[in-house]
Chains A and B, each alone.
Chain A
């Protein structure tokens, strides 16, 4: 398929990118890996006469692991994330998730920021990022602000990014040493049908506070499972798994689509919540 004419503006600073967004408004889109953007343009569902290429901005390429967080610049790709030894060391579950996004070519070009900004509901990183309390750093004409990933994603292909803002980084706070996590997904098509992220602290076999269970890919946005009453529950008890699986199936609001009927998806959500808990406990100390 041939693309209609457009101009690519290669920018070397975020300020320049923001200025172009202000100047062109709806006629321009930020362009990173292009894995979603160019597809949408080829399919004719979107047309932008101006693409703002942020890849030349050196500051957006940094991936840093500090004592408190992992900071992922907006042009860091899935390929970079799955290979980074420091990320694998502090967030092995996230590194493994990244290694299983899409296929090797999409990972080689596609960025985490682009994945979030596109807000396609069938995606892997959002569920785990929400469970970990990750934030997205945005820069606009009046400065920077940050949003929780749960506040960034507002609907199918909908985000809270203002028309003149650019994502500059994603920050994942590093959990305490004894926090356990798991991410499991069910996938039959190109993208996940159900993804379950679980993050919890377990001491003496019991949850410390409620476990954070987030269901991705089923609803338009990642769905957190209400689990307040499970604070202090025996984590390895089958009744706990049952209660969480039921709460998760009730929390999602699936619809019938190519990936399955609503009823089927509710069932799969329950099954994968049990699997996620199993993985969480398998690393048990």
Chain B
């Protein structure tokens, strides 16, 4: 009690890690060097800390690390295939969907969960899903367009109203 070993699949790799019960998932992943996951509001409001737990988006700032026991965790570092970016990452670049980039890992992980469930969402669905991810720089239009582009590569470069 208080301290236990958990077995998880982290970005495709099986790992066994000893953690104390009160450790948060964000402390675990960042402590392992996966610092793409960002801490901002610390209150489940902004989404900068979004990671996927068995495919579902969660706020790693307010999730205990032990919840990852027996499950899969995906962070932003797990998306690219070597130097080839994941299509969502590429779409964010193509649409200029970030400036400072602090919100971006969370945005992309949230978008991944959406696209895994609904590969071709409409704009209203994207807006509703991403409501809990806050960006202080870009404005949300380009972010929504980037997510929509993933299902429609032919739109890339198209100027949208």
Contact = CB atoms under 8 A, between A and B. Distances in A.
Interface of A: 1-9, 34-35, 38-39, 42, 51, 79, 99, 102-106, 108-109, 190
Contacts, number: 74
A3 B21 CA distance: 10
B47 A42 contact: no
Interface stretch (B52-60, B77-85, B94-102, B139-147): B52-60
A104 B57 contact: yes
Contact of B44 (A4, A5, A7, A39): A39
9 contacts: A4-B22, A9-B1, A38-B63, A39-B44, A51-B21, A105-B57, A106-B59, A108-B58, A190-B45
Range of interface residues on B (Cβ < 8 Å): 20 to 34
A1 B27 CA distance: 10
B56 to A, nearest CB: 4
A247 B47 CA distance: 40
Given A8-B66, A105-B57, A1 B42 contact: yes
B64 A105 contact: no
Contact of B43 (A3, A9, A39, A99): A39
Contacts of A5: 2, 20-22
Given A8-B64, A34-B63, A105 B21 contact: no
A102 B42 CA distance: 15
B110 interface: yes
Contact of A102 (B110, B113, B132): B132
Interface of B: 1-2, 20-24, 27, 42-45, 47, 50, 53, 56-59, 62-64, 66, 110, 113, 128-129, 131-133
Contacts of A7: 1-2, 21
Sort A-B residue pairs by CB-CB distance and give the 8 closest, nearest first: A103-B132, A3-B22, A108-B56, A8-B21, A105-B59, A7-B1, A7-B2, A38-B62
A154 B27 CA distance: 37
Given A6-B22, A105-B47, 6 more contacts: A8-B66, A38-B62, A102-B132, A103-B131, A109-B58, A109-B59
A42 B2 contact: no
Contacts of B1: 7-9
A39 B24 CA distance: 12
Given A35-B62, A38-B64, A103 B20 contact: no
B132 A105 contact: yes
A3 B44 contact: no
Given A5-B2, A8-B21, A34-B63, A108 B57 contact: yes
